[in-house]
Structure formats: structure tokens, C-alpha cells
Amino acid sequence: MDSQKFTYIKYLRDSINQSSSSDDEIVFELTKIFKKISSFKSAALPLFFIIDYAQNSYAFMSEGVKAVLQYDAMDFMENGVQKTLDIFHKEDFKLYNQKIFQHNLSTLKMIPQKEHKDLSFTYNFRLRSRNKKMINLLQKGFYITDDKTGLPKYSIGSITDITDVFTKENLVSHIIEKSNLIDGKQVNEVLVKNYFFSGEENTVLTKQERIILLCLADGLSSKLISEKLHISVNTVNNHRQNILVKTGASNVAQLIVYAVKNKII
């Protein structure tokens, strides 16, 4: 399987009915642990889930989903992954389906299968609750993968409601980390860190952002740009941050390289 050609939807379809019995014991033990944790009623607890790709279903969904989305866990257990797809924010899912999931597969392909247990995958997205409100969620989890193909058999993780603390609704972050043992201590290494803007209108620089990029290429400071464009320094800095996120650049030098490659300057 070429991970660069597989969307999440295609992977779900092609994984149905593939055997995964060798890991049933692991999933059974994790389910018991999740059930025990979830029995302790606390608003601070995330919801837990286990997706079985061979069955295109949830092997487990904690009752914590009720507090977050107003749906019962059985809504997901009975309707499978399709239930989540039905309430997924359209543009957020487009990013996950076409980009984020492919990054996940590509990373799994590069890392030896025996080390997949040391990888964690984090990203944010929006789901529509039963009362039609879009809820911003943060998911962190890992995969149980096939020892021959190295591809996901189960997706396991936790989901937390970040609606009240995450204000940039169109910004989707995606991070892949690897836990390494160094001098007897667990140290997380960031392998992938991506930022995306949900929605086609947010995938390119706006006219104002292009003007500011040109000013930065000319060596102007935020203060000088604000005076030239008759906007506040704070507005300039906000534009600068959005430009960095959209282009994937970390400094002005990288922005200039981006501008040259994309014929902005």
C-alpha cells in the first residue's frame, strides 16, 4: 500500500474484514482499563475510544461522550465510525481525510513496526453535537499496527473538549511524537508538526498578508509596516503570525524563500 495514495475513507473501506485477532487480548485489556477509569465520574476526564478498522466500528467508546457531544456511547457503538463521519465538520474532515491521515501513514511506514507503540498522534478538529453546536476537540492517541504491513489495525486514544480554550476555530494543528528512552528518562521527540487552515479560503495568503509579506521582504519592522499601511502594530503582528502558520515558515528568511518560490516577489 502506498500511503501517499490513501485517504482515510479509502483506508476504512479497504480494511474491512481484515483479520486482527492477534491483538484482541491487548484491546480487551485496554477496554477494561478505560471502563475502570471512566467509572470515576469527573468533568476533568477525557472520553476514551478504540476503533477497530477491520470492523469499521468502535470496539469501545466511553460514556464521557455524553458530556461532550450529548450523544450516548451506544450511538457510536451501534453505528460505527460512520457516526463520527456524519457529525464531522466538513472542512476539518477534508484536512484529516486528505492530509493528516496520510502524514500518519507515512510516519508509520518510516518507523520500524516494533517502535510504533512509542508514537503518539495529536490533532484538533470539530464535531457537531446533538444540539447542533460545533465542539472543538483535541485528540491524542496511538495505533496498534499489523506486524507485517505496519498499517493501523486499531486506533486508540482520548478526546478532550477544548472549545473554551482554543479560539482559532479554523486552525488545525497536527503533531506526531516519538517517546525515546535517554539516560533512563522518557523524552518526547517531535517528528511532525503541521499547521493547517480549515477551509479553502484559508489555504492561501490574503491580499493584506501578501502586502505585509512584501514589506517584510523589504526589511520593514512591524512598526514601520503599521505606519505605512495605517494599521496598528498589533494587527501587523497578528498578520505576521498567520503568514508564518500558513506558509510553514519559522522566520522572515524562510518567508522570503517562500515568497520567491511562489512568485510573490
Cβ-defined contacts of 36-42 (< 8 Å, 24+): 38/62, 38/63, 38/64
- Give me the chain's average pLDDT, please: 89
- At 22 the pLDDT is 61
Of 12-26, 33-47, 130-144, 226-240, which one has max mean pLDDT?
A: 130-144
- At 78 the pLDDT is 97
Note the pLDDT tens digit of each residue in 158-217: 999 999 987 666 788 899 999 998 888 889 999 998 878 777 555 578 888 889 999 998
pLDDT at 226 over 70: yes
Say whether 204-261 and 3-200 share the same fold. Answer: no
Phi-psi region of 61 (alpha: psi -120 to 50; beta: other; left: phi over 0): beta
Note the pLDDT tens digit of each residue in 74-86: 999 999 999 999 9
Cβ-defined contacts of 86-89 (< 8 Å, 24+): 87/127, 87/128, 87/129, 88/125, 88/126, 88/127, 88/128, 89/125, 89/126, 89/127, 89/128, 89/134, 89/198
pLDDT interval class at 23 (50, 70, 90)? confident
In CATH terms, 3-200 corresponds, of 3.40.1010.10, 3.30.1490.20, 2.40.50.140, 3.30.450.20, to: 3.30.450.20
Residues of the chain above pLDDT 90, percent: 63
- At 6 the pLDDT is 76
- At 19 the pLDDT is 63
Nearest to 217 by CA among 263, 261, 249, 257: 257
- At 251 the pLDDT is 87
Note the pLDDT tens digit of each residue in 32-82: 999 999 888 887 889 999 999 999 999 999 999 999 999 999 999 999 999
- At 90 the pLDDT is 93
CATH number for the domain whose boundaries are 204-261? 1.10.10.10
Question: Model pTM greater than 0.85?
Answer: no
Cell 479497504 sits on residue: 14
Domain ranges of the chain: 3-200, 204-261
Note the pLDDT tens digit of each residue in 243-260: 888 787 888 888 888 888
Q: What is the mean pLDDT of residues 140-162?
A: 95
pLDDT at 3 over 50: no
